[in-house]
Structure formats: C-alpha cells, structure tokens
Amino acid sequence: MSTAAAPASPQPTQKHFSVAIVGGGISGLTLANALIRKGIQAHVYEAAEAFSDVGLGLAISPAAHRILTSMGREVSEAYESIVTTHSDSPGYEQFRETWFEIVQTAGDGAGQVLLGLQAPPSGQTSVKRTDILDALSQFLPAETTHFGKRLQYLTQDRQNVLLRFEDGTSAEADIVIGCDGIHSKVKEALLGDDINQFLPQYSGMYAYRAVVDMETMVQAVGEPRARVSSFYVGKDAYAVTYPIMRANKVNIGLFKVDYSLWDSKLWAAPTTRGVMQQDFAHMGPSVSALMQHVTDTSRWALFDAPNLTRFCDGRVALLGDAAHASTPHQGSGLGQGIEDAHLLAELLSDAFVNTTADAMLALEAYDAVRRPRSQRAVATSREHAEILCGNHPMCVDPNSDNLLGYWQERFRWLWDVDPNEEVAKARNILHKLKSTHLSRM
C-alpha cells in the first residue's frame, strides 16, 4: 500500500450519528473517503486480513469516472495517476473518447470493425483493482479501518445497530451500510426470512480471464486492435479486451453462453485448454490468438441477483454488489457502486441531516433514486450479453443500420447522467420526507 500521502483530517462536524461500513471493497472505500472528508464519523470493517490483492482490470463507467475525478484533490490526483485511457498509448489520442470498438470475429468480415462506440469526453477508462484499492485506502485514518472482521450477524433496535463478527468481537453504530458484496451478510440480516428469494443466480454464462503484457497483445492481434478496447462478437460467445496500467498491460475476458446448472457455491471450476478451445473454435483467428495467452483455464461463473424490493430498512442499507450484483457485460457494475457511494455520502452530509432519524430518512431517499437506476443497469447488462452473443432480436443482421444505431444509443442513459443532478433529485426527496416527518411530530 502506498504511504506517500498522509490521511486528511476530517472536517468539524455537527452530525450526531456514526456510520459502520461493512466491506472494504472499492465501493465501501469510496463511501468511507467521502464521508470522512465531510466530517462524518465512519469506520470500515473488512473480512479479509488486508485489502484484496487480486490484480484484475476493471472498467470504470463514464459517470463513475466523473465522480472519482471530483472527490477532492488528494483522492482525485491518486485516481488520475492510475486510470488508463486510450491516449496513454502514444499516437492513439484520436481514440480518447472511444469506449469500445465492435469487431466481427468470423466469416467474410472477420476482423472488420462494425462500430466504434463513443463516450465523450472520457471514453473507456480502466484501472487495476489493487491500484484503486491502494489509491482509496491510503487516505483513510488508520483507526477507521478494521481487518479480520467477518460479519456473523447484526441486530438493530431503537438505540443503534450491533455488529457481531466471527472473531468474537463486536461494534456498534447508528447507521450500517452493507458493502459486503454479492454474498452479503448485511443483506441476509436486512431481508431475514425472505433472503432465499434474492440469492445470487447463475446468469447462464461463464468466463475465462487473463492479464497480459501489451507487447504480447500486439504480437497476438496486432495494431491497433491491441491498444483499442474491443468487443469481439460471435454466436453464443464473445471476447473483450482493454488496456490497463497506463497501457502497459491488457485485460482479456472470454465469455461463453452455457445454460447448464451451476453450483451456486462455486465461483470457478477448473477445466482443460481443450475445452476452452472448443468453446471458442468458431470465433475466428483473433480470438484464437487471445486464447493462446490465457494460462489459467478456470471457468468463472457469472452471477447477478434478483431485484430487491428495498435497499434499506431502518438504520441499515445496502450498497454496490450487496444491493444490485450485476454481470460484467456493459462494464457498469463497479460504476453503479461508485454512484451509490457518491449519492449516499451527499445525502448523509446534507445540512438537514443531523441526527440518526435524519440519516434514516436519507437512506430512504437513497433507495428511491438509486434502486431504479441500478436495477436497470443489471437488466441491460444481461441484454448486452445477448447482443454481443448474437441472441438478441436486433441481431438478425449484425451489419444492419438498425442494430448499429441501437447499439450506439442504448448506453446514453447510463453514460450521460449527471451525478449532481441525481443528488439534487435525492435531496428533494429527502427534504420532502423530513417535512412530512416533522409535520407528524
């Protein structure tokens, strides 16, 4: 972990409530940074003994990119130092606003770029998971982060929320935010006996994953394909590549449709190179070249979760994958968690939010704005997989103007949102809730 910058001192606060964040992933740390910088007492409880060292690449959605570049000087500068764009490759500045190019994989048009999807002004932005965890964690005061705290259960009453951890320790807080991922223990506590209706579900696809050097990628698929983020589309399968680590490395994902039953307790299942090659034998020379550099042939199941009827209950709320776990097909899952964190931090720091009762109203306003948008992202991610795999009704002719136009426009709602307008919408709801609450007293 980097120690280049000292944690920022929290600003004086008039807030009369504390926040416990269960889960020290990217969304949880984004929330912790935002709250502490706004003078709100917040602690992070992470199950692992250290922040994750998994080094996979992650796409950052355009809206999330705008949030991370406006989180205050230290965090923004740290993020800017690790984020990768197409312009990090010398001579590729003209691709700065490109999100992905859609590439045909087989047949007479193999290798043809069907469409360049534009997401101005940022285009595709990506990070390495360990880098962004480092960037976010280095600014948190040491006393606010607690490791080895795997949640066993929580209970809430009219006084506070009690957290019990598997190591035998406990903690109390006025507000608890579950950022503990797709298998969230906070969600189990919030939903109680209803949890079985909302367990993660296999989406009918699995993936192979790899990170390779840019030089290796150039040898495999050539220029400019190696340096420009690409979807390789096929039938019942697709591949994705995009640069990370300032274009020194490339993230690779190979995705396959398979509706066979999957044991939901397993994230990954080992298989052979022969099985992987059979999965993508019809996908043309570029994908064949990518497969040569996937050294781990484990198949990673892709899960999402059914729509919840609420993200909060009393003093407890869910955020990120705990609330709306998604498949990765449109690169929006992490971004939705960052949008969650930004909006919730703005609500909890609102001038009208001073007591725990006020904070509970803020959770309701958060739910009212974030739940519809994030659940739409889950649904459209599945839909995008159908398009990429040629199984959507629009895919009768992959070269049709209708499909290409639909492809270009379907992301506008996701990319072009103004996070500050979303905050303003949520604040209006919050203020109305508080007015109603006061009128009943």
Active site residues: 209
**Residue that is written with structure tokens 């390495």 in the block:** 128
Is residue 181 within 8 A of residue 28, CB to CB? The reply is no
Is residue 160 within 8 A of residue 118, CB to CB? The reply is no
Residue (of 58, 318, 49) closest to 181 by Cα position: 318
Is residue 23 within 8 A of residue 321, CB to CB? The reply is no
Q: How many other CB atoms sit within 10 Å of the CB of residue 432?
A: 12
User: Which tokens in the block code for residue 399?
Assistant: 């070269």
DSSP letter (8 states) at residue 360: H
Q: How many other CB atoms sit within 10 Å of the CB of residue 1?
A: 10
Task: List Cα–Cα distances, 374 to 21, 34, 210, 337, 409, in angstroms.
Answer: 20, 20, 28, 9, 18
CA angle 197, 312, 10 (to 5 degrees): 140
Q: How many other CB atoms sit within 10 Å of the CB of residue 201?
A: 13
